[in-house]
Chains A and B, each alone.
Chain A
Amino acid sequence: MVDHPNLSYDEIYKDVDAWLQEHWDVSRGLAAWREILVEGGWAAPTWPEEYYGRNFSIEQAGAVNQAFDDHGAVGVAQGGPGRLASHTILVHGTDAQKKKYLRPILTGEASWCQLFSEPGSGSDLAGLATKAEKDGDRWVMNGQKVWNTSAHHADFGILVARSDWDVPKHQGISYFLINMRQPGVEVRPLRQMNGHASFNEVFMADAEVLAEDLLGAEGEGWKIAATTLSAERQGFGGDRSGGKVKDLPGPIYAEYRDELAIALEPYTWYPQRAGRVDLVMPRAMETGAISDPHVRQELAKLIAMKKASDLAAASAVQKRRAGNSNVIPEGSIGKLAASVIARQASHVHTLVSGTDSMLKGADSPMDGVIAEILISVPAISIAGGTDEIQKNIISERVLELPKEPRFDTGPFRDVPRNLADI
């Protein structure tokens, strides 16, 4: 990937520094600045040269980030689904698709959502039943998607749908780029048990996709979805976070803050979902629960698990750097650990807060933060692959235990499904 192996961190930093001295100007509007940024070739340094990038390694891109941070310069548009879309299009798209879709993602002109999960296929994503039917030079979509972050303001969606019902399930899926702004697409917010509505449901009734917006070949959708999912798992090291400049004064920063607020709004409760281990000890001391021998035991178990999990994660990172690419099972162990830790944290928070655990909002401890932990933790062992799926991965790929017998290997049409899908 590295086409510029000889450019050192310092050389790159100097280049970017000089470019920013010339071009960065806080009095510009955000959209105008992003055009200059993309033209200048510093919008996505890890991307290929023909598409706005420089083929930089993640380490080299770090020098670019540093220079932007030092100048207080704003980077490209944030937004998880847009990053997933651009990564997947870069890998599998035609030149025409890349030309059409990539630039507006960087500038923030177009926002995206991910249309993968369905009410009838959660853990079993490949069992999806949204129909994609070819009709001349277009595809017609019918079905329902769920857990679609940011779909209510998205311009486009990355969509997997079933284009062939007569082959085994993984072979009948195709991957599409769908325009969300059309009559056949309806987006409804999905309210969660913790009161937030971070996701949506998307209903497609004769929604259209142009033939040219099929990504990759027909029937290749599962393989392409794996690219998206691996990007989701690995995060986006080397891309600019932009977080450091958001508190600076000036109109461009205000515009950027508004954009970020919309992009990050679905995620405000995610720290609570993970259990807020950082709050447990201070809360135990503040309430006096620290003197309860049972609380002390449970607290000590929690602290030890969290510390051990951090140590194991650090060791996994070192192994990866040393060339061990067995990332998925390591990730599954870490994800399972996060669930166990969050549940234990929720348990200890409950013990520490006592009957105050019955309250929420302004009347409750820490202005509702503790209550939000207690009613958000159940999500962590489901989102991004349930604990049960992680345990399948660990036992089958790490321990190499045999798989369970399957009942879904024949043509998808004959596979038992949820009644709602049929």
Chain B
Amino acid sequence: MQVGFTEDQLQFRDVVSRFLKDKSPPTAVRALMDSEQGYDSEVWQQLSQEIGLLGVHLPEAYGGFGFGPIELGVIAQEMGRYLFCGPYFASAVMAGYAVLNSANEEAKERLLPEIAAGTKIAALVLDDLSDAATVGTGISASGGRLNGTAGIVVDAHVADTLIVVAGTPEGLSLYEVAPALASVTPLDAIDPTRKLSRVTFNGCAGERIAGAGVDIDLLWDQMSTVLAHEMIGGAERLFETTIEYMKMRVQFGRQIGSFQSLKHRCADLLLELELAKAMTHEAGRFMASGEGDAYSPNMAKAMASDAYLGVAKQAIQLRGGIGFTWEEDTHLWFKRAKASEMFLGSPNWHRERMMQRMEADAVRAANG
């Protein structure tokens, strides 16, 4: 089993990392989080056209590059590290996977190449971002008409098209809706680097694009795995800057990093981060190959959330007063950690989900 990354994957990471370091410094992040659009159109175009990150996980037949969850994870980890602002997660990951998994051939051929090229931004509308099991209870579709509300939708405010998971008498189905037909209301987000809206459908027309039912568990695992990568990237960055600060900051005549009470806390954080990272990379491998631990996507999202927030809290605490100021950059990552903790299921939700899956597998094994 390949545990680490291949040479090609490491080189790819370096390319992505260099690009984002250059295009997404904290000054750019601050400018974008205050803007209405929330992303830089020029960077978006370079990201999609020049280095082709949007279609990395999509098949070549649909304009993608035919790689998979591991390479997507590499991108997400670097985006988390540099707090990239833009509809990448909403369009390429959430909507991209939903269409790829569940749309009919015509819709895939029409939508995926544009998502991969970045010429069309899609937003995935889920009526519940906390629990996969209740998706489809808030938005229903009947006779080509949609009704209901999604309380929180990522990047719907800039979407060219809305991909909607709706409940129908036959189960979950996939619809495409023109944003102009829906009511899209931007919301104030605790993490202004990820823009959120409320989306309401009042009997508006939608095109049913599902080729089959929507496997919400698969989609949730795919999204959670990518999100976990984004979170450990952010956690790594915050941890590194905190360690640097502790080497520089002097109190009581010594670097504060020399105090055992503080350095031991950092050792604990490193352990938590390393474990979360190991599990997140396992989830990437499992989603890519089906080999490895089937519960790893749940474990990864839970561990990455706990580790990111754990690091973020200490990143502020260890900086003392300066860490609580607007001027210092730490709060940008803290807020991403906080918002991501609940996004796509809390750590508790993922642990409970993992237990249910383990029990179901144990029963299945017992019944032969």
Q: Mark A366-409, 1 if CB is under 8 A from B, else 0.
A: 00000000000000000000001011101110111111110000
A304-B302 in contact (CB<8A): yes
Name A307's closest neighbour in chain B (CB-CB). B293
Most buried by B among A300, A309, A340, A388: A300
Q: How many A-B residue pairs have CB under 8 A?
A: 116
Q: Verify if A153 is at the interface (C-beta below 8 Å from B).
A: no
A395-B266 in contact (CB<8A): yes
Q: Verify if A333 is at the interface (C-beta below 8 Å from B).
A: yes
In the assembled complex, which residues on chain B have CB atoms less than 8 Å from the CB atom of A312? 274-275, 277-278
Query: In whole Å, how far is B331's beta carbon from the nearest beta carbon of chain A?
Result: 23
Q: Verify if B365 is at the interface (C-beta below 8 Å from A).
A: no
Q: Verify if B264 is at the interface (C-beta below 8 Å from A).
A: yes
Q: Verify if A314 is at the interface (C-beta below 8 Å from B).
A: yes
B278-A402 in contact (CB<8A): no
Name B271's closest neighbour in chain A (CB-CB). A336
Query: In whole Å, how far is A119's beta carbon from the nearest beta carbon of chain B?
Result: 23
Tell me which of B164-172, B251-259, B337-345 binds A. B251-259
A: number of interface residues (CB 8 Å) = 40
What size tier do the contact residues of chain B reach?
Answer: 35 or more
B351-A307 in contact (CB<8A): no
Name A297's closest neighbour in chain B (CB-CB). B351
A392-B270 in contact (CB<8A): no
In the assembled complex, which residues on chain A have CB atoms less than 8 Å from the CB atom of B18? none
Chain A stretch 244-296: residues in CB contact (< 8 A) with chain B:
281, 285, 290, 293, 296
Query: In whole Å, how far is B326's beta carbon from the nearest beta carbon of chain A?
Result: 28
Residues A319 and B4 in contact in the complex (CB < 8 Å), given A300-B354, A395-B263: yes
Most buried by B among A303, A311, A394, A403: A311
In the assembled complex, which residues on chain B have CB atoms less than 8 Å from the CB atom of A318? 3-4
In the assembled complex, which residues on chain A have CB atoms less than 8 Å from the CB atom of B278? 308-309, 311-312, 315
Query: In whole Å, how far is A395's beta carbon from the nearest beta carbon of chain B?
Result: 4
In the assembled complex, which residues on chain A have CB atoms less than 8 Å from the CB atom of B355? 290, 296, 299-300
> With the chains together, A158 CA to B358 CA distance in Å?
49
A337-B282 in contact (CB<8A): no
In the assembled complex, which residues on chain A have CB atoms less than 8 Å from the CB atom of B275? 305, 308-309, 312, 337
Most buried by B among A297, A303, A304: A304
B3-A391 in contact (CB<8A): no
Residues A402 and B279 in contact in the complex (CB < 8 Å), given A318-B3, A319-B4, A395-B263: no
B267-A336 in contact (CB<8A): yes
Interface CB pairs A-B, < 8 A, 24:
A296-B352, A296-B355, A297-B348, A299-B355, A300-B302, A300-B354, A301-B302, A301-B351, A304-B279, A304-B351, A307-B296, A307-B299, A308-B282, A309-B275, A312-B277, A315-B4, A391-B267, A392-B260, A392-B264, A399-B263, A400-B247, A401-B247, A404-B259, A405-B258
- Hey, which bits of chain B sit against chain A, CB under 8 A? 1, 3-4, 243, 246-247, 254-255, 257-260, 263-264, 266-268, 270-271, 274-279, 281-282, 293, 296, 299, 302-303, 348, 351-352, 354-355, 358-359, 362
Lowest 5 A-B CB distances belong to which pairs? A300-B351, A395-B263, A391-B267, A308-B275, A401-B257
- Hey, which bits of chain A sit against chain B, CB under 8 A? 281, 285, 290, 293, 296-297, 299-301, 303-305, 307-309, 311-312, 314-315, 318-319, 333, 336-337, 340, 388, 390-392, 394-396, 398-405
